[in-house]
Amino acid sequence: MTETTMSTAKPSILRGFDLKTAGPAIALLILCVIGFLLNPAFLSEGNITNLLTRSAFIGIIAVGATFVITAGGIDLSVGSMAAVIAGVMIIVMNSAVDTFGTGVTTVLIGCGCSIILGLGAGLVNGFLTTKGKIEAFIVTLGTMGIYRSLVTYFADGGTLSLNYDIRGVYRPVYYDSFFGLPIPVWVFIIVSIAGWFLMNRTAFGRYCTAIGSNESVAKYSAIKVDRVKTLTYVIQGLCVSLATIIYVPRLGSASSSTGVLWELEAIAAVIIGGTVLKGGYGRIGGTILGALILTTIGNILNFTDMISNYLNGTMQGLIIIVAVWLQRGDWGRSKSAD
Amino acid sequence: MPDGQPISAPILSADGISKSFGSVPVLFSVSMNIRAGEVHALIGENGAGKSTLMKILSGFLQPTSGHIRVDGTTTELPGNGQSEGLGIVLIHQELNLAEQMTVEENVFLGRELLSRGILDRTTMRAMVAGYLNDIGLDISPDDRISDLSIAQKQMVEIVKAMSRDARVLIMDEPTAVLTEAETELFFAQVRRLKARGTAIVFVSHKLTEVSAISDQVTVLRDGQWIGTHAAKDVTPDSMAQMMVGRELSDFYPPMNEVDVDADHVLEVRDLVAPGVHNVSFDLRRGEILGFSGLIGAGRTAVFEAICGLTPRAHGIINFDGSPAQFGSVAEARDAGVVYLTKDRKEKGLLLGQKMRPNLSLFALPKFVKGLSVDRKAEDAALERAIRRFDIRARDPSVKVGDLSGGNQQKLLLAKVMECDPRVLIIDEPTRGIDVGTKQQIYHFIAAIAAEGVSVIVVSSEMPEIIGLCHRVVVMREGEITGVVTGDHINETEIVRYAAGLKREHQQ
């Protein structure tokens, strides 16, 4: 029996290695070539910068989602969470104008508020799943609904707009560059590096993987399972708040349609990147590539009129399904092998 | 064949079966005859080829050369369990039951009885109730599998086989997880099946059971057929020798005398926890203390409560003379008290991961340098562990799930030893591993104790408790019924306490 498993294990490791590490990179490369062939302007500096900036929101959120998913959880609430944080940020900043004026202080107050809300929302999701022992899917489905309705309520069904003067002060956070790269891209890079380090080099990352692989083994190995799982949701919340901080100056408003389907895109980026949905194996590098792939698809569709831009979601959906099919890794292997 | 019995024609026979996986040969021209109404034990060390042979006999694998004969006719058995149609049923070690479905649904899974296109539940339920009655199993057809004990699940598998009119029932280590009482019940059932003319093939590592129940014993070693003997002609000792191919004189390590004046490392007083009532005991430095009793006697519960895995209701624990209340496994580990689970696949090891992360997982804080995990230290630790515990893996990057049971158990022992414990609690140290590795594990335990670590061995296998321990605590229904020491450690004495026939009234 041992011999059977031994003999089949080898090739599956090799194949898994190829697909899971190189696959997303190859896919992104192919997409870039297609983009360039369809329209050489695809590779222009302006478009690349634009593409990276747009990837930043989903990318940052997806880095957080990688931790949650690796530890065997799921967070469906991120899109609504971003919307409600954006809404509250705007309300707080608008009302701070009277006391603190329209300067940097007010913007900092808004950002601080965003981070506190993000951490708090993550903590709520984490506590409900661990201490409350409710399925993460149900908890975050619930909070998703709550946050979405809250933002609609705050905006009274319409749009919350940021005070015009603050908008001027806050604007550079989205639109300005630093050493040739837009600030959102820098945030994305920093979050990615921190996430990669946390996942691959620290005990915490190891604990996430262990919990996602087998929670009982983790528990018997002296890992504080509840604490680690809660922390993954807190990290997710922090990532959402960072993404919101760089998102708000883009439009200077929030409404019930802010951040719609971001949870889907974030989870898709994670899965396309090779992280296993049921937990136990997480790749931050893959997640970043996944986020880039998703944005690139949208970008290419914008560039060409071959496929309607309205079919962006269709393309993304197809990519997700194909990615997961490739991830299974046992296609083509004859049945008799096992 | 040296049968020495009136020979009936075999129902199922293997004739010069060889099998290779790729270029690796695992069976060399093995022959075996299975007759109606006979219990045929198949024994051998892990990796001897027993599982492969069973899979070939039941059609799950095809032999590379050689023939399978059914009722004397050469037959190519259909794969994937289709051989059940021929009356050949294999019961896997990992039971094949749908946990969330009822007994009735499981028994008829895949061949549900229909009446006018809808499920005929009344008939099916009545039939299952009939089988359960036959087998003397006190459960209802409506019980959910997840609510049953392992022994009951095993019985459900047998009921399933009965309902398929099995002529040959092949079982992979059916008694590995059963208590002695449950094993007796199981054997009663096997005898009943045998009387009905069913042929039974079973694999077991428990040689005394093999002697007790079988008619024929076939021994495999390294894929070779070593011999087939009438069970009455062989003793457990001679079977073990045939399996291992050498004398097993020093099966248990020589016992170091424990210093009777050594300090008490661990003192437990009036511990109350789920499944545990007023348990008190002491543990000396360098002592090997056995915990015996039937499965479900609360032994595991005691140590899960001590190590902070389950909540304690009440009780005093003194560690090194000062009170200790471990609120989590991490606290117990930091103090030097570690628990090695009996369930290595579900609670012990990450089967999908490599050896390195598994080895360091329990003691991971020790491996953290600055902010990050020190991989060089991990590699060095793995190298040490492989040498110290003789872990045999093709290469260090193999997934732990692909290691043999014995090597997994050694890795698990290495994993808890990474914490440099002062008290090592091992629950079922040798469950499901072969004789050779068992012997190694016993020597490891003795060596660890000789270094001054106090070891608690929780085991349902009487011989290892007797062969290994300085003192034995016997539990029954969550309580300690007795402590046996020195020359009094013998099977009868332990069984009397475990069965509640005798009881100490001290402590």
Is the separation of the CB atoms in B330 and B290 below 8 Å? no
- Dihedral pair phi/psi, residue B458, rounded to 5°: -95, 120
Rounded Cα–Cα distance for residues A167 and A183 (Å): 16
| Residues contacting B492, CB < 8 A, separation 6+ | none
Is the separation of the CB atoms in B306 and B421 below 8 Å? no
Whether residues A280 and B371 touch (CB distance < 8 A) is answered with no
Query: Would you list the domain boundaries of chain B?
Result: 12-244, 263-336+423-507, 355-420
Residues of A in contact with B330 (CB under 8 A): 222-224
**Which whole-number Å values give the CA distances from A212 to A67, A279, A292, B368, in the listed order?**
10, 4, 25, 21
A207 touching B, CB under 8 A? yes
pLDDT category at B156 given cuts 50, 70, 90 is confident
B470 pLDDT above the threshold of 50: yes
Whether residues B352 and A213 touch (CB distance < 8 A) is answered with yes
Is the separation of the CB atoms in A272 and A290 below 8 Å? yes
Q: What is the pLDDT of residues A166-195, one digit of tens each?
A: 999 999 988 888 888 899 999 999 999 999
B330 pLDDT above the threshold of 90: yes
Whether residues B361 and A210 touch (CB distance < 8 A) is answered with yes
**pLDDT for residue B408:** 92
Rounded Cα–Cα distance for residues A199 and A228 (Å): 12
Whether residues B368 and A5 touch (CB distance < 8 A) is answered with no
Whether residues B415 and A5 touch (CB distance < 8 A) is answered with no
Beta partners for residue B439, in sequence order: none
Count of C-beta atoms within a 10 Å radius of residue B38 = 20
Rounded Cα–Cα distance for residues B174 and B96 (Å): 13
Rounded Cα–Cα distance for residues B507 and B113 (Å): 59
Residues of A in contact with B308 (CB under 8 A): none
One fold for B12-244 and B263-336+423-507: yes
Query: To the nearest whole percent, how much of chain A has pLDDT over 90?
Result: 59
Q: In terms of Cα–Cα distance, which of A261, A191, A211 is closest to A73?
A: A211
Rounded Cα–Cα distance for residues B334 and A29 (Å): 49
Rounded Cα–Cα distance for residues B286 and B258 (Å): 7
Q: 3-state class of A283 per DSSP?
A: coil
Any idea which architecture A24-328 has in CATH?
Answer: Orthogonal Bundle (1.10)
Q: 3-state class of B175 per DSSP?
A: coil
Q: What is the pLDDT of residues A52-88, one digit of tens each?
A: 999 999 999 999 999 999 999 999 999 999 999 999 9
DSSP3 helix / strand / coil % (chain A, rounded to 5): 80, 5, 20
* CA diameter of chain A: 75
DSSP label at residue A41: G
Whether residues A209 and B357 touch (CB distance < 8 A) is answered with yes
B377 touching A, CB under 8 A? no
Residues of B in contact with A224 (CB under 8 A): 328, 330
Q: Per the structure block, which two tokens stand in for B37?
A: 């109404």
B238 pLDDT above the threshold of 90: no
A13 touching B, CB under 8 A? yes
Parallel/antiparallel/unpaired status of strands B216-221 and B288-293: unpaired
Whether residues B347 and A217 touch (CB distance < 8 A) is answered with yes
Q: What is the CATH number of domain B12-244?
A: 3.40.50.300
Pick B352's closest partner by Cβ from A6, A197, A280. Answer: A280
Pick A2's closest partner by Cβ from B47, B352, B353. Answer: B47
Query: Would you list the domain boundaries of chain A?
Result: 24-328
Residue B169 falls in which region: left (phi positive, over 0), alpha (psi -120 to 50) or beta: beta
Q: What is the pLDDT of residues B77-116, one digit of tens each?
A: 887 778 888 889 888 877 788 888 888 888 888 778 888 8
Q: What is the pLDDT of residues B60-76, one digit of tens each?
A: 889 999 989 998 888 88
Residues of B in contact with A280 (CB under 8 A): 350, 352-353
Mean pLDDT of successive 10-residue segments in chain A (338 residues)? 40 48 83 88 89 93 97 96 96 92 90 96 96 94 96 93 91 88 94 96 94 93 94 97 95 91 91 88 93 89 76 80 72 41
What is the fold, at CATH topology level, of the domain defined by B263-336+423-507? Rossmann fold (3.40.50)
Whether residues A206 and B364 touch (CB distance < 8 A) is answered with yes
